[in-house]
C-alpha cells in the first residue's frame, strides 16, 4: 500500500511535468548560434548566416511563435529557413500568413512543409502512437498561401542561391512522414 506522502509526491511530480509541458516549454524561445565547418564548402561563402526556424504551429489564437517571429525579425541573416509545421491546423493558415508576411519582407525566406501542412491531426491515447491523421489538407492551397506571404516553398525542388561571388543549391524535400519526399526531384 502506498502511503499518503508517496501518493502526494507522485501527484506533485505529475502536476509539475504537466505545468512545464503546457506553460513553460511552449513559451521557451531558444536562440542558438552555431558555426558550421563543412568540407568542400566554398570559402567565398564563409560568413553566410542562416536563421533556421521550425515547428511554429500557428493556430487561430495568439501563440508564442508570433512572438518568436518578432524577436527573429531583429536577427541579421542572409537566409531564413523554415522547416515545416507552419500551422497547427487549417484554421491557422490565415494568421500564419499574416505573421509570415510581416516577417518575410525584404528577406530571402525559404520553407519546406511539415506533416501539419499535409493533414489535421487528433491526439491518440498513450501507447498507440502520438497522433492520428483526422483529415488530409489541401496542400496546394496551403503552399500557395505561404508563397503569397513571402515564403519560397521548396517542395521537392531546389534553387540557386547567390552570395557575393559564390553560388550553391538550396534544396528542399516534402515531408517524409507523408511519403511525399522526392530527393532526386529536389536535386534536379
> In the chain, what percentage of residues exceed pLDDT 70?
82
- pLDDT grade, residue 69 (50/70/90)? confident
Residue 128 has pLDDT above 60, yes or no: no
Query: What is the pLDDT at residue 169?
Result: 93
- Supply the DSSP symbol for 20: I
Q: Which CATH architecture has domain 43-187?
A: 4-Layer Sandwich (3.60)
- Supply the DSSP symbol for 21: I
Q: What order do you get walking across the sheet with 152-153 strand by strand?
A: 50-53, 79-83, 109-112, 152-153
- pLDDT grade, residue 131 (50/70/90)? low
d(CA 51, CA 124) in angstroms, rounded, equals 33
Residue 124 has pLDDT above 60, yes or no: no
Query: What is the pLDDT at residue 20?
Result: 65
d(CA 32, CA 24) in angstroms, rounded, equals 18
- Give the domain ranges of the chain: 1-30, 43-187
Residue 88 has pLDDT above 70, yes or no: yes
> In the chain, what percentage of residues exceed pLDDT 90?
24
Tell me the mean pLDDT in the region 62-75: 81
Nine-digit cell at 102? Answer: 510581416
- pLDDT grade, residue 150 (50/70/90)? very high
Tell me the mean pLDDT in the region 81-105: 86
Tell me the mean pLDDT in the region 12-25: 68
Say what the pTM is: 0.77
23 or 79: which leads in pLDDT: 79
Nine-digit cell at 8? Answer: 502526494
Phi, psi of 95 (to 5 degrees): -65, -40
Q: How far is CA 19 from CA 5, 22, 125, 148, 154, in A?
A: 21, 5, 20, 37, 37
Residue 91 has pLDDT above 90, yes or no: no
Cα dihedral 184, 43, 74, 68, rounded to 10, equals: 40
Residue 86 has pLDDT above 60, yes or no: yes
The number of CA neighbours under 13 Å toward the Cβ of 139 is: 19
Amino acid at each position: 500500500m502506498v502511503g499518503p506522502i508517496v501518493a502526494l509526491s507522485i501527484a506533485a511530480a505529475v502536476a509539475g511535468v504537466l505545468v512545464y509541458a503546457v506553460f513553460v516549454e511552449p513559451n521557451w524561445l531558444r536562440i542558438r548560434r552555431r558555426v558550421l565547418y563543412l568540407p568542400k564548402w566554398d570559402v567565398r561563402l564563409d560568413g553566410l548566416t542562416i536563421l533556421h526556424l521550425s515547428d511554429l504551429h500557428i493556430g487561430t489564437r495568439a501563440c508564442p511563435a508570433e512572438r518568436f517571429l518578432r524577436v527573429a525579425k531583429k536577427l541579421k541573416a542572409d537566409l531564413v529557413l523554415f522547416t515545416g509545421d507552419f500551422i497547427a491546423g487549417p484554421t491557422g493558415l490565415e494568421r500564419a500568413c499574416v505573421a509570415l508576411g510581416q516577417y518575410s519582407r525584404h528577406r530571402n525566406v525559404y520553407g519546406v512543409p511539415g506533416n501539419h501542412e499535409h493533414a489535421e491531426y487528433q491526439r491518440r491515447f498513450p501507447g498507440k502512437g502520438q497522433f492520428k491523421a483526422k483529415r488530409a489538407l489541401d496542400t496546394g492551397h496551403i503552399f500557395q498561401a505561404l508563397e503569397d506571404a513571402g515564403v519560397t516553398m521548396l517542395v521537392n525542388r531546389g534553387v540557386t542561391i547567390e552570395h557575393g561571388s559564390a553560388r550553391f543549391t538550396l534544396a528542399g524535400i516534402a515531408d517524409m512522414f507523408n511519403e511525399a519526399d522526392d530527393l532526386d526531384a529536389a536535386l534536379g
